Amino acid sequence: MTSLPPFLSPPPEVRLVNRFARGFDHAVAAARTCYSQRIVSPEEVAGDGEAPEEVRRRQARRLALAQDIYRAGHHTTFQHAQFQFALSRVSRQFLWSFLHSHPFYNSEQVSQRYVPVRDGEYAVPPLAGEALAIYRAAANRMQEDYRELAEALMPAARSAFFQIFPARRHQAERWEREVRKRAREAARYVLPVATFAHLYHTVSAITLLRYHRLCALYDAPHEQRLVIGRMVAEVLHTDPEYAAILEEPLPLEETPEYAAFSRLGRDEGPAPGFREAFDRSLDGATSRLVDWPANGEATLAAAVREVLGASAAEIADDEAIALLLDPAANRYHGESLRLTTHSKLGRALSHLHYVFRKRLSHTADSQDQRHRMTPASRPLLAAQVGAEPDVITPQLVAREPAAEALFQAACARAWEAIARLRRLGVPVEYAHYLLPNATAVRFTESADLLHLHHKLTLRLCYNAQEEIWRASLDEANQIRAHHPRIGRWLLPPCGLRDRAGAKPICPEGPRFCGIAVWRLTPDAYRRLL
């Protein structure tokens, strides 16, 4: 990885800020404990306090056992040790395509919705000459478009804000900052996916090992190898023993994605008619329910009775479902701390599975994928991006004709810059850093009801990102149509808390959306901002 040419932008900053003090020793100690009549300590594994010859013997045994269990696939022992990284100057494309594309991590990332993006804060791949000039000019112009669009959206944002909070109109200057956040939230759609982010990112040792093995995967293999290489180097500096089980990255050319991608010629975009057929299948929805359990309600009711050892005569289906999902009967739904996964009854929700076909912007999907227990088969982005702009227009932009004209022009310029780079022979990986956040992403997502309930609770809140809110409303309404006794309880936090008698009804405090949503039925849900 050290032979990779650097990006021309400032290099990514990777710092290991927290770790298990003896993570590798703990992994081996855990493995030995499985076959011991007592807890084996990491000190014993390493031979602490022993004579030098015994220390060497124990450490050789430690390495041999670690390699043995690693090769055999007994990887849970390597999940105990956690590594917390502080990452800066990494692109949004890298985060979406790689770092957040799996369930085994935790991240806290700077929000583009509310934190303004500064000039020059974007990744610049190793280009030269005319290609570099085109790239920089396009990225700089996209940042200018972001500022111009934010200003153009201020009248529409101000009008909507004071329509929601009419009493605040008398102190309009006091609320100007909040209005500007709403305008900036929509304006970010024209920023390039090259835009930098900073975050805390925590993974286990086994996840880091997987990162290293697959870091050459599409869509941003160069940046992935640079960042993951630095993460691994940070760990090896403090825990050099991990080198004994660290495999070399799998070359991109040896991945099944590469073989299929090359055979189909997908670096030139999707197959003719692919996007049109996909969009028709949505039938006007953002998220379309395409598969669900035919006997879902009966299965759920039976599972509740099994937990309680009850008969159908004792607990009918309606009562069983209400016992699980009605906040008036199940107080867990009024708690801020998510307890359903750990409750005996709550786990009955895991038997029902729902599958959705979705179309979101790159920026909205970057938030949607953070719901790690509602996984999706997200695309190789290069396989879906064609020669013409293909974007999602934010609601606020669509309501303001002048702003929409700015938005469409910005997206068209981005696509033209990408086309010019491709004509110069620039790899699609580098050219696509200029894709705007608005770029449409099409995929299938699924979830069991246990985790989907949690996601919909959060994302039906009017403070949720607009596209995800709209997709979540589609999902809740379609489940309600097929399974009404389940769907009636798919509500935002305030709706559940009101039914549970929890106070305050809205848990957002000063972030209250301004609408008493708990008093509305789902068919009356409307968003201005």
HEC-encoded secondary structure of 489-518: CCCCHHHHHHHHCCCCCCCCHHHCCCCCHH
What number is the average pLDDT over the span 130-134?
98
- In the prediction, which pLDDT does 47 show? 94
What percentage of the chain carries pLDDT values higher than 70? 100
What number is the average pLDDT over the span 209-223?
97
Q: Which two tokens stand for residue 297?
A: 């309600």
- In the prediction, which pLDDT does 61 show? 95
Task: Give every CB contact of residue 407 below 8 A, 6+ residues apart in sequence.
Answer: 149, 189, 190, 393, 394, 397, 438
Alpha-carbon gap, residue 492 to 311, rounded angstroms: 32
Dihedral sign, Cα of residue 455, residue 202, residue 438, residue 120:
positive
Indicate the Cα dihedral angle 329, 335, 341, 343, nearest 10°: -50
Indicate the Cα dihedral angle 182, 187, 189, 191, nearest 10°: -130
Q: Is the pLDDT of residue 121 over 70?
A: yes
**DSSP 8-state assignment for residue 388:** S
Q: Is the pLDDT of residue 190 over 70?
A: yes
Tens digits of per-residue pLDDT, 513-522? 999 999 999 9
- In the prediction, which pLDDT does 268 show? 79
Q: Is the pLDDT of residue 453 over 60?
A: yes
Alpha-carbon gap, residue 267 to 496, rounded angstroms: 46
Alpha-carbon gap, residue 251 to 254, rounded angstroms: 5
Q: Is the pLDDT of residue 2 over 80?
A: no
Buried b (16+ CB within 10 A) or exposed e, 240-272: ebbeebeeebeebeebeebeebeeeebbebbee
Residue type, 228: I
Alpha-carbon gap, residue 120 to 139, rounded angstroms: 8
Task: Work out the pLDDT band at 314, boundaries 50, 70, 90.
Answer: very high
Is there a cis peptide before residue 504, judged by omega within 30 degrees of 0?
A: yes
Alpha-carbon gap, residue 60 to 479, rounded angstroms: 57
Is there a cis peptide before residue 390, judged by omega within 30 degrees of 0?
A: no
The two beta strands, 196-204 and 353-361, are unpaired
The position carrying tokens 């953070």 is 370
Tens digits of per-residue pLDDT, 244-279? 999 999 999 999 999 998 899 887 789 999 999 999
Alpha-carbon gap, residue 461 to 184, rounded angstroms: 20
Q: Note whether 6 and 89 are within 8 A (CB).
A: no
339: phi > 0 → left, psi -120 to 50 → alpha, else beta; which? alpha
Kindly tell me the burial class for residue 283, based on how many C-beta atoms sit within 10 Å of its own C-beta (0-12, 13-18, 19 or more): exposed
Task: Work out the pLDDT band at 1, boundaries 50, 70, 90.
Answer: low
φ, ψ (nearest 5 deg) of residue 445? -130, 145
What number is the average pLDDT over the span 164-173?
95
Strand locations in 246-296 (E): 287-291
Q: Is the pLDDT of residue 281 over 90?
A: yes
Q: Where are the alpha helices (DSSP H) in 369-445?
A: 381-384, 395-398, 401-423, 428-431
φ, ψ (nearest 5 deg) of residue 61? -65, -40
Sheet containing 13-19, strands listed edge to edge, beginning at the edge strand earlier in sequence: 13-19, 82-91, 196-204, 106-109
- In the prediction, which pLDDT does 262 show? 87
Q: Give, in order, the Cα–Cα distances in Å from 442 to each of 259, 413, 435.
A: 21, 22, 15
> CA geometry: angle at 473 spanning 467 and 476, to 5°?
140
Domain boundaries, the chain: 13-110+195-264
Residue closest to 76 by CA, chosen among 120, 114, 27: 27
Strand locations in 5-110 (E): 13-19, 82-91, 106-109
Strand locations in 34-179 (E): 82-91, 106-109
Give the predicted TM-score (pTM) of the model.
0.96
Task: Give every CB contact of residue 220 below 8 A, 6+ residues apart in sequence.
Answer: 91, 93, 94, 97, 98, 429, 433
User: Residues 302-310: contacts with CB within 8 Å, 24+ apart?
Assistant: 303/348, 303/351, 304/345, 304/348, 306/348, 307/344, 307/345, 307/348, 308/345
| Fold of the 13-110+195-264 domain | Gyrase A; domain 2 (3.30.1360)
Beta-ladder partners of 196:
91
Q: What would the 3-class secondary structure string for 90-106 be?
A: EEHHHHHHHHCCCCCCE
Dihedral sign, Cα of residue 174, residue 176, residue 182, residue 184:
negative
What number is the average pLDDT over the span 186-190?
98
What number is the average pLDDT over the span 490-495?
97
Task: Work out the pLDDT band at 305, boundaries 50, 70, 90.
Answer: very high
Task: Work out the pLDDT band at 355, boundaries 50, 70, 90.
Answer: very high
Q: Is the pLDDT of residue 107 over 90?
A: yes
Tens digits of per-residue pLDDT, 96-106? 999 999 999 99
> CA geometry: angle at 68 spanning 64 and 69, to 5°?
125
